[in-house]
Structure 1
């Protein structure tokens, strides 16, 4: 738990809320609306994650009128108690409490900017939707598997800000007719997005939950952050942040400075060789002993293209070097061959706020092995340095590895 509990005043009394400040000290404000299990460890983890992304997050205790301080787990008895609280919950008063939370959040020194957002899960997803439709101060709302939205589609008449809904295909609480009604209703409106996640059920994005689906959760988070950045900010120069990281990796070759550009628990995965590290300790060890001081002196990166998104950078480049030493991360266990190597590479670089979270680096290892003489390309659908040269010069011949290519010469094209 990185934040603290504060008291939020409302017209009916005060209630507790978990507050976690932006990694920058202050940032755009978000009210995070709980599941039916209260402001538990999972909700606090979501809030802390959003704080790492640059937001100041307030998580109000929306069950305070029924039973203050509810914090449930996910055992059978917890579900029974959670559903009982949900059954007696008054949604209208819940929206009132969200409005009180937004008002209080705006006045905190940790909150910057005029635009405010609401994010919610399950019960909180429905409340985030209602808040977007009813409260003019909500500039952006993101709802994960909100329950019962299909029964409140008329509320969309009041929508003024941007709205994003994440809907699991197999959500037992939102059967196909309900899902289709929601998707069709949003399709008719500007500034709205409804995403359906195939093959997953309710709570697919709950951290460490039994129904957690990592690919869907990561994609949903990326979409959420893209929307929040667009409406609320903050605006980070990810390209400059990435350049600073690269500078320390390849120019200054400074391990502490490299790690300082990253989150507390980052990871790096060089996909073809599965080298890198997970967590600060192992990644620091990897950088110090197997990467930064392990690269050839003439190693050079030639940029080809760069795509910058809301929270990630995708770099296309050519890496070139002389294989004059054993390169643990690229050719582990291979003695120096003295060969000059050129490799097309792709890096997918994810950020959390202003800090680098992970790197996924891809390349064609067969091309590398051909160039250092460890793989004979004869009779195999692999190439060597030509893969890099064709990336730089698209006019070089295509389909040279396809024996069947000449057979289509002159055939009609329809």
Structure 2
């Protein structure tokens, strides 16, 4: 297995400094870059382990703390095992953080992350891939729509509220996306009912975006997050297979 180097880095943005985790093969050479967007629970050991797994597969992975305006990670103190049903106060804490991260801020921050990767000696020249989880799936779509010249692939997993009536709904960004898109939806996700799944897929189709959207049977919202009560080992491994396949086609 490829040796992985993981470090904490700071990324200058228009609104301050975003702390982040950077993982890459330890061979000193540049590798294709992946921007990995967190779920609502934020930058924590599990997300770092996901970045390490991607880095071991040959990629340079950047995981920014997208809540940096509210402080450095961990912005919210979390238990080692996250069970929102047992600890409902967790969502009361992270909810305002999510609501404060508006699409315009997401797109502005994405520009900073992408510029940082373009200047990094461990990131290869050329376009990047973006993957996101839960709320991060929405961030990935916004990023691809706002920076089509920089984003060649988008992977989104157990995203919610992807196609709503909101004037800033993620599916409306499809018209600007040039990347290949793969989404793995959770069929036990109240945040993404069947009508939104169809609306999201239809928007990608109408925009001529090369894409595949699949529904993972029996999977709950958060199925990739092994430190939460929503985790599904079977769905998680399906996600890894799909994501690595997407990256192999991209790079």
TM-score norm. by structure 2 comes to 0.85
Match of 1:197 among 198, 216, 240: 216
| Partner deviation per Cα, 1:199-242 (whole Å, 9 max, x = no partner) | 2110111124322112221112111111111112xxxxxxxxxx
Paired positions, count: 232
Residue matched to 1:100: 112
Question: How far, CA to CA, are the matches of 2:205 and 2:212 in structure 1?
Answer: 8
Q: CA RMSD in A?
A: 1.9
CA distance in 2, matches of 1:85, 1:166: 25
**SS of residue paired to 1:59:** strand
> 1:71, CA displacement in angstroms?
5.0
- 2:173 corresponds to which of 141, 152, 155: 155
Q: 1:185 and 1:41, CA in 2 relative to 1: closer, same or farther beyond 3 A?
A: same
User: 1:111, 1:56 → 2: CA distance?
Assistant: 6
Q: Hey, what does 2:196 align to over in structure 1?
A: 178
| 8 Å Cα contact 2:179/2:209 also seen in 1 | no
Please say if 1:141 is aligned against 2:159. no
For CA contacts below 8 A with separation 6 or more, give which structure has more relative contact order: 2
Out of 125, 128, 138, the position equivalent to 2:140 is 128
2:26 and 2:157 map into 1 onto residues whose CA distance is 24
- Deviation for aligned residue 1:187: 3.9
Counterpart of 1:240 in structure 2 is none
Please list, as runs of the form range in 1=range in 2, the aligned pairs for 1:11-410 lying within 5 A after superposition: 11-22=14-25, 24-25=27-28, 26-69=30-73, 70=75, 72-73=77-78, 74-75=82-83, 76=87, 77-136=89-148, 137-151=150-164, 152=169, 153-188=171-206, 189-232=208-251
Residues 40 and 72, structure 1, Cα contact 8 Å, conserved in 2: no
* Structure 2 gap ranges (5+): none
Contact 2:106 2:142 in 1 (8 A): no
What whole-Å deviation, never above 9, does each CA across 1:252-286 have from its counterpart, x for those lacking one?
Answer: xxxxxxxxxxxxxxxxxxxxxxxxxxxxxxxxxxx
Which residues of structure 1 form unaligned runs of 5+? 233-414
Structure 1: how far apart are the matches of 2:14 and 2:154? 24
The question of whether the paired residues in 2 share the 8 Å contact of 1:32 and 1:118 is answered with yes
**CA–CA distance in 1 between the matches of 2:15 and 2:228?**
34
1:24 shift after superposition: 4.5
Q: Distance in 2 between matches of 1:98 and 1:44?
A: 19
Query: In the superposition, relative to structure 1, how do residues 226 and 125 fare at CA in structure 2: closer, same or farther (>3 Å)?
Result: same
Report the secondary structure of 2:69's partner residue.
coil
Structure 2 counterpart of 1:281: none
SS of the residue corresponding to residue 244 of structure 2 reads helix
Measure, in 2, the Cα distance between the counterparts of 1:126 and 1:145: 10
How has the CA–CA distance of structure 1 residues 28 and 71 changed in structure 2, closer, same or farther, with 3 Å as cutoff? farther
Greater alpha carbon shift after TM alignment, 9-18 vs 155-164: 9-18
Structure 2 vs 1, CA of residues 24 and 222 (structure 1 numbering), >3 Å: closer, same or farther? farther
| TM-score, normalisation: structure 1 | 0.53
| Structure-2 residue corresponding to 1:259 | none
Change (3 A) 1:24 1:140: farther
